[in-house]
Amino acid sequence: MIAALALVAAVALPLGAPIDRDPQGTGAAAPAPCVSTGGACTWGFKESFRAYISGSIANGEWTTEGGIGYETPFFASDVLTGQVALAPFSGELAVDGAMRFTGHEGILDTTISNLRLELVDAQRLELVVDLRGTTQEFVEVDTANVLFATGDLAAAQWSVEGDGLLLAGIPLVLTAQGAEAFGTYPEGEPLDPLDLRLATSPECAEQAIAAWQTGQGLLIPLLLVSTVLLAVAGSVFVHLRLRAAKRRAAALRDDYSPGA
């Protein structure tokens, strides 16, 4: 088992190893690492919720503030700021703005603000927000730094778009914290997918995509290797236990045989 884990770790370690930018030792200046310091995003939040709010049940509306706008059918921001390293991929972008949903003559009044997109790695995005409102059970909520949703970056479409990197269709689901704060949908409820554009050069966008594809390519073999190693370790363990049991049975037989 330990050998299996050690082998998996040995295969995994080079992923995080520093890159030698001058392998020939020529002394040439290393190229600046690819970083994005801004971007834009579009997000429908949740189509069924918008339909409910604007329909005849809630008879409501939504408004936006600050760096967030709305153009049917998306909330959008083109003033995301922060810092994202592109290869390996990680960082944070944020927008100072809000989306406010109202309905049922003001009984429903929920504001989601201060949106932060935490890009944990090339697989996972975390959407952190502040939320003020009333749950469906009419409980008042006013809470900051809610891990509202998580996004699956591996399932998004990565491409070079103009002067940037486009991650299109990032699937988002509501977290337990998000479910508690919003007060209606359960944890795991799918929200609308999010499109994220990161300002960078086309070359850096290519690098980010290549690094992401390498990660994707390594993930499946790593899972296969670890599954096979665990299966081998398991069968060796069972085999040893069986042999020990057989030896014990033989010893017992010898003890009780008439000639003993």
Binding interface with ligand HEM (CB under 6 A): 48-49, 52, 57, 104, 107-108, 110, 134-136, 183-184
Closest CB 110 distance from ligand HEM, rounded Å: 5
Provide the token pair at 111: 């504001």
Q: Between 90 and 184, whose beta carbon lies closer to ligand HEM?
A: 184
Q: Between 55 and 234, whose beta carbon lies closer to ligand HEM?
A: 55
Give the whole-angstrom CA distance, residue 175 versus residue 239: 43
Closest CB 173 distance from ligand HEM, rounded Å: 14
Closest CB 109 distance from ligand HEM, rounded Å: 8
Closest CB 46 distance from ligand HEM, rounded Å: 6
Q: Is 93 exposed, middle or buried (0-12, 13-18, 19+ CB in 10 A)?
A: buried
Q: Select from 145, 123, 103, 131 the least CA-distant residue to 211.
A: 123
Whole-number CA gyration radius for the chain? 27
Q: Between 51 and 250, whose beta carbon lies closer to ligand HEM?
A: 51
Q: Between 163 and 187, whose beta carbon lies closer to ligand HEM?
A: 187
Residue of closest CB approach to ligand HEM: 48
Closest CB 204 distance from ligand HEM, rounded Å: 38
Backbone angles phi, psi at 234, to 5 degrees: -65, -45
Q: Between 175 and 207, whose beta carbon lies closer to ligand HEM?
A: 175
Give the whole-angstrom CA distance, residue 108 versus residue 137: 10
Sign, CA torsion 153/158/164/170? negative
